[in-house]
Structure 1
């Protein structure tokens, strides 16, 4: 192996270690007892497996409920956003509706609008339709936000969709909806899988909008529970590490489970 490749490999190893170091530190401190943390500090290895911090945080915030809320909201948003993105992109990318460029520009601008500027009108709209402090409000908001990105991305992908497949479907007598579900969706499945994974993880990690719209304890998501409890300064270092571990572990696990989907999607995009 050439010396340059060894240098690149060494740099990549260092980068990976720097990325993993905070996660490893959180895991180590999450399984320590408060006394052990105070005596040996945050960098020492634990003497044993102490899960008191994990159990204390789990019970204090009713983590099972928060986990269910986050899973329902993120999963629903991911599914709906993929469906709406596919329908919009099918019309814009393949259907070539009038004003296509205008709609694409509108979706692009929607992706650039900061969430802080949307909160004020969305708050009053949620109050007006009696959806404030409900999971439905957050699902509707994030579905619209994620669909804007998904539509813009899928429209560019479907714009170069093989016309031979569309012509063959038309010759077989397939209508637009049948062509969509029988031809376009199967071919675009790798890209849709990537979008589903990203939409789920992005929604799971969102804090600002759920913090505004979910004020009741039984409706809060995992990031909101972490932010509220840490803001009250009611936890010691080991419990704080346990809360961070429980907060990021589900998203990391979901990402690892769907890693093959991401790889297939990236490879399919590279082949195209």
Structure 2
């Protein structure tokens, strides 16, 4: 029998066999360009407030009054940034926000994981009603919680203490985290859990050696979101942190709105300084966030 005539495909043949939209030489269609143009417009629309803040942060009040908010600054003016930095003791406010947000993020993720492990894998009695109750509690507006929380922490001696805010936000954030992780853990492969049990692993070991490594991308996403959400919170820190030494960055920014010495450029500078830490945090953990969101999307 004659040997089969087998030859390696040439480059044009490989290109022809490549599915549309996947090969390196694939040309973009009009629909692709339209989607790209819409994405660029949406990106510019989202970035416009940030660009406006940056422009006006480096303007003098006179320059702002003469040229308006959209014109570029005639010269770089940094007195607004310096005035806000010194007036509110900005490094201290950044440390307060970082300590509160970081502590809440870690504690809320741990509490969410423990609760979800009991609800999603432990299958405790009344699991569905507990999840529904947690979801309803998470939907309550913060204004409803202010008075009972104020009375409780005042009686406990934690009013005007950063730990009061940490406890409140740990419970609030972990409610959402428990609801999310309980849904994820309920679909956890039973084969892995049964194999770990056959090897003699207890529940604590199953949690840290089996469940935690697999769900680590999801936990990383929750950690990042909990940090950013807590950093941007305003109402509860404003209510419970009345002294200047305990205030967070959002509270410090709005506390000067009634100051007669404040102007538009100083307000823009304060908004820029308040935005930079969260922006740096997001850029540092951007890859972690991307990996966590896409984990499990492709087998």
TM-score bucket of the superposed structures, by smaller chain: over 0.9
Residue number in structure 2 paired with 1:17: 44
Residue number in structure 1 paired with 2:156: 129
Residue number in structure 2 paired with 1:271: 298
Residue number in structure 1 paired with 2:5: none
2:176 is the alignment partner of 1:156? no
Alpha-carbon distance in 1 for matches of 2:110, 2:146:
25
Residue number in structure 2 paired with 1:68: 95
2:72 is the alignment partner of 1:45? yes
Cα offsets for 1:115-147 (capped at 9, x unmatched): 100001000001110000000000000000000
Deviates more, 1:138-147 or 1:29-38: 29-38
- For the structure 1 residues 94 and 72, does the alpha-carbon distance in structure 2 shift closer, same or farther, using more than 3 Å as the test? same
Structure-2-length-normalised TM-score: 0.88
2:62 is the alignment partner of 1:3? no
Q: Decide which of 273, 279, 297 is 1:246's aligned counterpart.
A: 273
Residue number in structure 1 paired with 2:196: 169
**Structure with greater helix share of residues:** 1
Residue number in structure 1 paired with 2:226: 199
2:140 is the alignment partner of 1:113? yes
Deviates more, 1:168-177 or 1:130-139: 168-177
Q: Secondary structure at the match of 2:282?
A: helix
Cα offsets for 1:36-62 (capped at 9, x unmatched): 222322212123332211111000011
CA shift for structure 1 position 233: 4.7
Number of aligned positions between the proteins: 272
Residue number in structure 2 paired with 1:222: 249
Residue number in structure 2 paired with 1:258: 285
Deviates more, 1:97-106 or 1:80-89: 97-106
CA shift for structure 1 position 255: 1.3
Alpha-carbon distance in 2 for matches of 1:88, 1:44:
53
Cα offsets for 1:94-129 (capped at 9, x unmatched): 000111011101111011111100001000001110
Deviates more, 1:174-183 or 1:194-203: 174-183
Q: Secondary structure at the match of 2:295?
A: helix
2:131 is the alignment partner of 1:104? yes
Deviates more, 1:258-267 or 1:201-210: 258-267
| RCO comparison, higher one (Cα < 8 Å, 6+) | 1
Residue number in structure 2 paired with 1:234: 261
